[in-house]
A and B are shown apart, each in its own frame.
Chain A
Amino acid sequence: MSKVVQIHPAKDFKARSKAVLDNPGQRKNFRGAMDFLQAKRRAQFVDQDELQGLRELGASIRRYSLANLPRLLEQLESKLTANGVQVHWAENAADANAIALKIAERVNARRIIKGKSMVSEEVGFNHAMEAAGIEAFESDMGEYIVQLAGEAPSHIIMPAIHKTKQEIAQLFADEVPGVTYTEDVDALIQIGRRVLRRKFAEADIGLSGVNFMVAETGTLCLIENEGNGRMCTTVPKVHIAITGIEKVVEKLDHVPPLLSLLTRSATGQPVTTYVNMISGPRKADEKDGPQEVHLILLDNGRTQAYADDELRATLQCIRCGACMNHCPVYARIGGHAYGTTYPGPIGAIISPHMLGLDATYPLAFASTLCGACNEVCPVKIPITDILVRLRNEAQAKPETEEATLRGSGAARTVAASTVWSMWSQVYSKSGLYKLASWFMSRGRSLSPSEQGAWTRSRTPLVPAPKRLRDLMKDRES
């Protein structure tokens, strides 16, 4: 059984955020990248009516798919199986890696070439393979760069968004044999192309993610610009696709609207260079393509979100990254500060189901609730409502009805819950309110000058010298 690296962002989220805020160079990278991506998206949606109509359609497709999820997964499985694709189900990260390892062992694989897959990051795939002595090599240029640097992606669509070309030039000069320092982006890409071409040709297994799965035809849809995804799913003898159980739609014609929303929201492209639709392994008369295709369907906490009427909407996500591109918090602290595979607003609402709320609740508080994410979400996930819900869950009393998630109540402290229960008493009983406000206004000089986070950049709060009811009395007399 493979070992999965456990992340606990709760522990040092603030420290990591502060480190980025103190780094002007990195802040400039993120600001520039976010401005770029926002402008690209804006240029794609000039017609507001079309955008809103398409979002409504996209949201209805995703809601419909989730409402019928168990049926669609069974239909998908039977269609894929009939097409010759082997379907596997994984409860968690360890299961998913174990399934992949079993396949790798059976085909005697030493090298795995990877297309971009956030789910493979989620399960710690590369570590698990390396621990078993199998090389897992990233082939998406951005992923290749972060792997070369020994880092993790800082954005779900643009993994190396935190790096400047100077940093990448230095990295290539240091790490790729025979390469001299160059800042020419075309030259850098050609270096990557040259290295990775050999890797595609030599790999025993190609691993990929999936963007959409179509139940009625048993089809896996993958989108990309570089061609590495097509290489990974076509050249090696075995193709393993790994994805979350929520990515299924029923009809093939559900794909065009979602595809349009995805590429335009993500990178501001009308479409990606490649839309790759795979419905089976190589047939007897075909001359290329993998001889085996496997699909690993991963739960890893998704059924917890599914069980709740409000949190189920989290699974509508099509992973475009627009919420992070428009988030004032993400733009300032970047992806690594979150400490989770999925950063930004979507990371804050999906990660608690994967890692537990105890490990992730600070992310739900790292939001101004400005609602920019709700506005740009192509499938209309009410992200801020879910953030507020998670904040409440974090303060919930464990083992009561209000605590419904793994790790609920983790942020609860005796002091805070006592204050809130007093507050609730005072505000629901008029006699008590009268008495309390009398004491507050008379005792205002006793207000503490240190009021936690509030007074770090603001003057202390002091109750008014006269209550509203006193002011009204003065006016009447």
Chain B
Amino acid sequence: MSARDEILNRLRKPNVAAQPVLPDVAGWFESHARSEDIAQRTARLRTALEAVHAELHDVTHDNWASVLLEIAASKGMRQMLIGTNTPHGAELLACQTDGLQLLPYDKPVDSWQDLLFDGVDSALTLARGAVAETGSLILWPSPAEPRLMSLVPSTHFVLLDVDTIHTDFFAAMTAESWSEGMPTNALLICGPSKTADIQQTLAYGAHGPKELVVLLRHASGSPK
């Protein structure tokens, strides 16, 4: 008999008499989740993200690209990885980007991995949403914006529309029916990479980005 069958047979043997009922997760969140409007959720997200050294900027649909380019210039960024065929990527490509080279992630990583690891200092991705409770940005990497964009470059810029901020993780996954189909990779990101493995001393920039810059995009004409 295979290891699989042996293990499953052993697990079926004990008479686990009282089959517990399915835990009421929804009930718990119904009675414990905060009821907040977008402004309150945005404020809580901001507090949580700032606590882990993320940098936040308020932008609108009209000015986000110019704000991003200003920040990138002030940080001395030379390259920025962008997605392919994304509306925000196209908007950025239409801008004058003196001194900043925009690199579309347009081919499989295998052929240019060394350049990605050593020659790209920033990347811009769109967040699918966010979780106010913990300050987590939700990213579903895709063929247009692959996984390594949010991991390898030292500075990660994230564009987040404030109306996609959910109260908590449970609210996010139920509102978007995640259980009906998960992508290859789904991520929650809260701040730049960090570690406290040396004598419990917190240090940022462990293996992933050293900086996380979040552009909070409000409906035009109503920043904050």
Q: Could you list which residues of chain A lie within 8 angstroms of chain B, going by C-beta atoms? A: 32-33, 36-37, 50, 53-54, 57, 60-61, 63-64, 66-70, 73-74, 89-91, 95, 139-142, 145, 158-161, 163-165, 168, 185-186, 188-190, 192-193, 196-197, 200-201, 216-219, 225-228, 230-231, 234-235, 245, 250-257, 259-260, 267, 270-283, 285-289, 297, 299, 303, 306-309, 312
Contact = CB atoms under 8 A, between A and B. Distances in A.
Contacts of A257: 25, 28, 170
A311 to B, nearest CB: 10
B68 to A, nearest CB: 22
A84 B100 CA distance: 39
Contact of B197 (A66, A158, A273): A158
Interface stretch (B88-96, B157-165, B171-179): B171-179
Nearest to A309: B14
Contact of A306 (B11, B136, B191, B192): B11
> Which 6 A-B residue pairings sit nearest by Cβ, starting from the closest?
A227-B208, A142-B197, A226-B206, A227-B193, A271-B134, A275-B188
B148 A234 contact: yes
Contacts of B23: 57, 60-61, 64, 254
Contacts of A312: 14, 16
Contact of B32 (A53, A74, A235, A277): A53
Given A64-B21, A251-B22, A307-B10, 12 more contacts: A67-B19, A140-B197, A216-B179, A217-B181, A225-B193, A227-B208, A252-B178, A256-B170, A256-B173, A275-B188, A277-B186, A308-B14
B170 A277 contact: no
Given A197-B207, A251-B179, A286-B143, A267 B10 contact: no
Interface in B186-216: 186-201, 203, 205-209
Given A70-B12, A164-B199, A228-B206, A287 B193 contact: no
B20 A95 contact: no
Contacts of A289: 146-147, 184-185
Interface string B31-60: 010000000000000001000100000000
B208 A217 contact: no
B206 A225 contact: yes
B221 interface: no
Q: Which of B32, B113, B114, B193 has the most CB of A within 10 A?
A: B193
Given A67-B19, A230-B151, A257-B28, A306 B185 contact: no
Interface in B1-26: 2-4, 6-8, 10-14, 16, 18-26
A201 B112 CA distance: 11
A41 to B, nearest CB: 13
Interface in B122-138: 131, 133-136
Contacts of B192: 273
Nearest to A145: B197
A68 B11 contact: no
Contacts of B133: 270
Q: Which of A73, A273, A279, A308 has the most CB of B within 10 A?
A: A273
Nearest to A57: B28
B140 to A, nearest CB: 10
Interface in B65-79: none
Nearest to B183: A279
Q: Which of A66, A142, A189, A234 has the most CB of B within 10 A?
A: A189
Given A227-B193, A231-B207, A253-B179, A73 B8 contact: yes
A57 B20 CA distance: 12
B136 A275 contact: yes
Contacts of A196: 207
A77 B205 CA distance: 36
A91 B11 contact: no
Nearest to A70: B11
B194 A253 contact: no
A32 B200 CA distance: 9
Contacts of B21: 64
B195 A235 contact: no
A259 B169 contact: yes
